[in-house]
Structure 1
Amino acid sequence: MDRKIRILIVDDHPLMRSGISVEINAEPDMEVVAAAEDGLEALELFRRHRPEVSLIDLRMPKMNGLDLITTIRADCPVAKMIVLTSSAGDVHALRALRAGAVGYLLKHMLRDELISTIRDVHNGKRRIPDDIAQLVAKNAIEGQMTPREIEVLNQVAKGHSNKQISAFLFISEYTVKDHIKTILAKLGAQDRTHAVAIAVQRGFIDL
């Protein structure tokens, strides 16, 4: 029998790690070689075990998923990594793919698509849900935020006024108003609150 696909699971929820491990280990051609609850532990385990496929949550303590993917990619350019996330935001997906992920799975899809995604990625294919791929393609050029606009958005999300944002970022209130006008247009938002909701959903900011 061919050697099994060796898999690393990275997720800060014990039940998620346990459930995924059970499903994977039930397959005759796969085995979980390690599981980590945070990014730093995952990096250590990756370097120790060199798994064929790594399943990586985006939101984790100590080192987030994007930073972990970037670090692993620099350490091992041929590493095959699949993102596990509950966020359908196109910005999260685009950042993960740019960092080096070759698969993207929403957690509600795990029961139906986890095993086939692992096999496809192991065989050199990319696996991204169609709706996520369409969002990424649609918004790859249009609707992207500049670093300064994201800074403003984060301040808006904290409930700060234009005057407070102006003082915090050392820019004029006129500039703040101009940024917010551009942000609303890019996100297709009706007001500041709506803009924050869209930005969180797409993955520009985290609350």
Structure 2
Amino acid sequence: MGVRLVVIDDHRLLAEALASALKLRGHRVLAAASPAAGAADLVLSRSPEVCLIGTSSPADPGVFETVSRVKRERPAVAVVVLGPVPCPRGIAAAFAAGASGYVRQDERIEGVERAMVKARAGEVAVSPQLLQSAFAELLNPVEEPDDEGSRLLQMLTPREIEVLMRVAEGEDTRLIAAGMSIAPSTARTHVQRVLMKLGVGSRLEAAALAARTGLLDRVTAGSFPSGGSAS
């Protein structure tokens, strides 16, 4: 039996992509949105069985205010967080706010589905391995390496970063070419080069990676030259 749910993510594109995938698997998605002042109101008005909340920064102060309010006003709604790993403080904050589960953001759709079903049944939806890794990092903190967003910026040329940003905005090859004043064939080549460098197989995966690593927030309009190196 399908789950009635609301999907929320830092980036609307990802919320809608996840919602579409779950609809295809027989679940009833009541709404898909990016968080805003009305995110909690949206969940409360729809009264789903499960609310999926995706975030790229679970350790930030106040990020789980929606979870707290939903659990306070609709205790029957199970909340499952999709977030980065390892992030022990984020995992702790999610459960402290009332979440029923925490799933790593790169989990396969089957894993997300299992977590939803467990949370709806009143069970805690988090893998033992995830808890072990979180506890291990809390007990033995290590120096933070350069973040993934910085690594991606160093891998890509300015032109490729612009292409990635346009892909993340949902632009197709024709729009990318028009926006960058290049031929469609050149735009297609740039897109393929970006996918190859990022090690992903589709535009959706590239957009998801950019969003989850904070690259979309880091790179704003005008922060890279649109006429940068095409190499």
TM > 0.5: yes
- How does 1:179-190 map onto structure 2 within 5 Å? 187=141
- 1:34 — aligned with what? 31
- How does 1:28-177 map onto structure 2 within 5 Å? 28=26, 30-59=27-56, 64-138=62-136, 143=139
For structure 2, the 5+ residue unaligned runs are 149-217, 219-231
State the distance in 1 between where 2:48 and 2:62 align. 19
State the distance in 1 between where 2:77 and 2:12 align. 24
The answer as to whether partners of 1:89 and 1:132 remain within 8 angstroms in 2 is no
The answer as to whether partners of 1:8 and 1:33 remain within 8 angstroms in 2 is yes
Q: Which whole-Å deviations, capped at 9, do the CAs of 1:160-180 have from their partners, x for residues lacking one?
A: xxxxxxxxxxxxxxxxxxxxx
State the distance in 2 between where 1:57 and 1:21 align. 12
% same residue: 19
AA partner of residue 49 (structure 2): E
Going from structure 1 to structure 2, the CA distance change for 1:66 and 1:85 (only over 3 Å counts) comes to same
| Aligned-partner SS, 1:108 | coil
Q: CA deviation at 1:9?
A: 0.5
The answer as to whether partners of 1:35 and 1:42 remain within 8 angstroms in 2 is no
| Aligned-partner SS, 2:38 | helix
State the distance in 1 between where 2:84 and 2:32 align. 19
Moved over 4 A (4+): 136-140
State the distance in 1 between where 2:13 and 2:136 align. 35
State the distance in 2 between where 1:53 and 1:93 align. 18
For structure 1, the 5+ residue unaligned runs are 144-185, 202-206
AA partner of residue 132 (structure 1): L
AA partner of residue 128 (structure 2): D
Q: Which whole-Å deviations, capped at 9, do the CAs of 1:143-190 have from their partners, x for residues lacking one?
A: 5xxxxxxxxxxxxxxxxxxxxxxxxxxxxxxxxxxxxxxxxxx74x5x
Q: Which whole-Å deviations, capped at 9, do the CAs of 1:23-78 have from their partners, x for residues lacking one?
A: 111123x2110112114232121121011000012358xx9541111121111222
Q: Which whole-Å deviations, capped at 9, do the CAs of 1:97-122 have from their partners, x for residues lacking one?
A: 11111111111103341112111211
**How big is the alpha-carbon RMSD for the aligned residues of Structure 1 and Structure 2?**
2.8
| Count of matched residue pairs | 145
Q: CA deviation at 1:137?
A: 4.4
Going from structure 1 to structure 2, the CA distance change for 1:98 and 1:78 (only over 3 Å counts) comes to same
The answer as to whether partners of 1:58 and 1:64 remain within 8 angstroms in 2 is no
Q: CA deviation at 1:12?
A: 2.5
| Aligned-partner SS, 1:109 | coil
